Chains A and B, each alone.
Chain A
Amino acid sequence: MGGPCEVLVETEHEHEARQVAEAVCAAAARIESKYSRYLPDNIVARINSGMGAPTTVDDETANLLDFAAQVHQLSEGLFDITSGVLRRAWTFDGSGRVPRPEDIAALLPMVGWSKARWVRPTLTLLPGMQIDFGGIAKEYAVDQAAQAAASVSASAVLVNFGGDLAVTRARHGDQAWRVGIEGIDAHEGAAARLVDLSAGALATSGDTYRYIKSGGHRLPHILDPRSGWPVSDAPRTVTVAAPSCTQAGTLSTLAMLKGAGAEAFLESEGVRFWIQRDPAGS
């Protein structure tokens, strides 16, 4: 899941804790193997190697594609599961390598959900196009794992996959789970903010470590799929609270893509959010 995964169970019974951990691990492992873009023979690999031929997908994948299509439409193209192709030009490893405009222009014809043909249960991509569930699979896995945990245990459970997390209920005595949001410049393990979470989920977009340095500027790794270039004035991190981790993750990703408008966007959505930006002038 690209980060430390943990599950916290409030119980005195080891047997129950093991059951929950097994249920969570099973859900996580299933989704990771099914939707990781790094594995050679899963559904994502089959779609991406279609070379323009239609691929018929299972129900769960169809649900994810329906969701991606709806969010693409709601965000007027900002959220796009086909934007991963742009990574061929952009390497966000902290180096100063910025691609030439013509490299980006050459990739843009293979980017854009509207160029795909999705008629449930069949997806057809243009040759060279690829999809990537990286923007939602982890949050979806958190929700699935939390559901799996709730189905085997009535105790309070917190599922945390690399900072995206959901709780099944408040802790004993109606106490909230206390969650730290990692600070952008803090030392290892330090929390910049503490959030009390009694229900629902938190998701964070942005990454402290992935960026490109260009002319003294730090270009974030969040790319606008419509232009192929990094979003300007994007926050360093956006954390959103929502009823589900999938919703929280979608909203935090969209907020990153709004750049300078991240705060205004989340305020108009009426959700709780925490945004960290670089100090002015840095």
Chain B
Amino acid sequence: MANNDTKIGAALTAATCGLLGIAPSTSVASDAAPAWDVDSAFLYYGESDGRVQDLSLSAHATRDFGDERTLGLDVSVDSLTGASPNGAIASDGPQTFTSPSGRKTYDTPAGDIPLDESFLDTRFAVNGNWSQPLARLYTISAGLGFSSEYDYQHIGANVGLTRDFNQRNTTLSFALAYANDTIKPVGGLPLPLAQMGDAVGEDQSPANRAGDSDSKNVLDVLLGVTQVLGRHSVLRVNLSYSDSSGYLTDPYKILSVVDPVTGEPIARTPAPGTSGPVNVYLFENRPDSRRKEALYAELRHDFSGKVLQVGYRYSTDDWDVDSHTLESRLRLPFGESSYLEPHVRYYQQTAASFYRYSLANLAPAPEFASADARLSDMSAVTVGLKYGRETAGGNEWNARLEFYQQKAKAPGEFLIGNQVGNTQMPDFNAVILQFGYHFKL
């Protein structure tokens, strides 16, 4: 029997050199450590006129465990400051509002769109996702997410299944997501379409509030097809359905009540010894369910290294908000390891059926009403440019600068008296600056 302890290595190396006619080189092999692949980013988002500013730090990390099993983790921290429109219309006179807490007031000069300055928030979010093959051609994924703000908690779960067909040139995917969000507004939940009251002391409850918190549930269903079209093109088409139910109202948004003839705000007088609004404002109220359907189509084409991506999204919902989004990116590699990527996006939507610029005094009260510009007839344009550069170690730096412009208009049928030809919508511009670093750990 052969002696297992006899080392043959040196003699074998010599024999191999004799055969291959080359000096022995080295072998460097090791078990692959499952490595983290991290996309990190620092983002600044700033709206014009001192409105919302967001500083955000985020990281998306994936770890490959081999055998197509991957773990994805997302962490982000956002710090939001600035002012946001409260929904009231601009007026010829100065306006006073009670802050969301119900304990202070703030003023808006004559002619200005009223902004709530008390907007300040820190948001923390984490998401985890696991993906693995289920059987030949099938991949399953599942994830959990959580985010927290001082007045808002979100918890969500999702599952997805993909199936490859046609020699993996066609992929069908199906995904389900469910979320439960809890909102606990500062100062409590306003009663629907109740009047904004005077500021109250620390020992008193703000007027017209109905409890501390409420919740909403969101179910999302997605059905998608990805089709490889030849060597250079990929087409993706998604159909999605989203069902939200529960508290969908923005507790901080109000509407101005106006004279049904002139369209000017109706004045009121704060109670003696208190400060409070000098006009009549009602808290908004939205339906407690929203069903949305969307179609998304995206084509990517590789023009010998230059990759063009064009996407279109159509969305419609039972609030009558129909939207069209057209978006395109073009990746232009240059030099040894750099690229430029211009980006354009156009968005347009119709107003929600209950959107109002203001509410007429003495008219029958609508069941639902909101003056939130995000539910108005509006459009937005984004143009941007991204620059990326790969380092020698295979990592990548990138920087992105984008400009965003949003324009809304109040549909004519909602305008009253002097408002016609005199509307002021809370339009704004924003700048987005992002620095990203992609690396492996």
Contact = CB atoms under 8 A, between A and B. Distances in A.
B12 interface: yes
Interface string A261-278: 100110011111000000
A173 interface: yes
A269 B7 contact: yes
B8 A269 contact: yes
B66 A180 contact: yes
A248 B24 CA distance: 13
A69 B258 CA distance: 104
Contacts of B166: none
A201 B27 contact: yes
A190 B67 contact: yes
Interface in A177-211: 178, 180, 183, 186-188, 190-202
A173 B337 CA distance: 13
Contacts of B16: 67, 243-244, 246-247, 250
Interface in B1-30: 1-5, 7-9, 11-13, 15-16, 18-22, 24-30
A199 B28 contact: yes
The B interface is mostly helix, strand or loop, or mixed, namely loop
A193 B3 CA distance: 30
A196 B30 contact: yes
Interface stretch (A28-36, A73-81, A86-94): A73-81
Contact of B5 (A140, A172, A268): A268
B393 interface: yes
B202 interface: no
A74 B394 contact: no
Contacts of A175: 393-394
Nearest to B24: A243
Count class of interface residues, chain B: 35 or more
Nearest to A190: B67
A197 B28 contact: yes
B135 interface: yes
B391 to A, nearest CB: 8
B2 A75 contact: yes
A255 B136 CA distance: 32
Nearest to A199: B28
Interface in B65-105: 66-68
A243 B8 contact: no
Interface in A58-73: 63-64, 66-67, 70-71
Contacts of B5: 268
Interface in B391-422: 391-394
B278 to A, nearest CB: 67
A236 to B, nearest CB: 17
Nearest to A251: B12
A143 interface: yes
Interface in A228-248: 241-244, 246-248
Contacts of A193: 31-32, 66
A147 interface: yes
Contact of A67 (B8, B19, B34): B19
B436 interface: no
Chain A interface residue count: which class?
Answer: 35 or more
A187 B20 contact: no
Interface string A33-60: 0000000000000000000000000000
A241 B9 CA distance: 13
B133 interface: yes
A265 B31 CA distance: 20
B71 to A, nearest CB: 15
Given A268-B4, A268-B5, A250 B12 contact: yes
Contact of B12 (A71, A78, A172): A71
Provide the main secondary structure of the chain A interface: mixed
A63 B67 CA distance: 40
Nearest to B393: A173
Contacts of A70: 11-12, 15, 18
A138 interface: no
A221 interface: no
Interface in A129-188: 140, 143-144, 147, 170, 172-176, 178, 180, 183, 186-188
B136 A187 contact: yes
Given A187-B135, A196-B32, A243 B4 contact: no
Most B CB contacts (10 A, CB to CB) among A174, A200, A248, A251 go to: A200
Given A180-B66, A246-B16, A271 B27 contact: yes
Contacts of A67: 15-16, 18-19
Contacts of A242: 27
Contact of B25 (A172, A243, A265): A243
A196 B133 contact: no
Contact of B27 (A75, A188, A241, A254): A241
A140 B18 CA distance: 12
Nearest to B136: A187
Q: Which of B5, B8, B30, B67 has the most CB of A within 10 A?
A: B8
B31 A194 contact: yes
B174 to A, nearest CB: 21
A246 B17 CA distance: 10
Given A201-B27, A269-B7, A270-B9, A246 B20 contact: yes
Given A187-B136, A271-B27, A194 B66 contact: yes
Given A74-B12, A271-B27, A272-B27, A244 B7 contact: no
Given A175-B394, A200-B27, A251-B12, A244 B20 contact: yes
Contact of A178 (B7, B32, B133): B32
A95 B398 CA distance: 59
Contacts of B11: 70, 74
B27 A66 contact: no
22 contacts: A64-B19, A66-B19, A70-B15, A71-B12, A75-B2, A173-B392, A174-B393, A187-B136, A190-B133, A192-B67, A194-B66, A197-B28, A199-B27, A200-B25, A200-B26, A243-B16, A243-B26, A244-B20, A244-B25, A246-B20, A258-B4, A269-B8
Given A243-B25, A243-B26, A271-B27, 20 more contacts: A63-B21, A64-B19, A67-B18, A74-B11, A74-B12, A74-B15, A77-B2, A140-B19, A140-B20, A147-B20, A173-B393, A178-B32, A180-B66, A186-B67, A187-B133, A187-B135, A190-B133, A194-B31, A200-B26, A250-B12
Interface of A: 63-64, 66-67, 70-71, 74-78, 140, 143-144, 147, 170, 172-176, 178, 180, 183, 186-188, 190-202, 241-244, 246-248, 250-251, 254, 258, 261, 264-265, 268-272
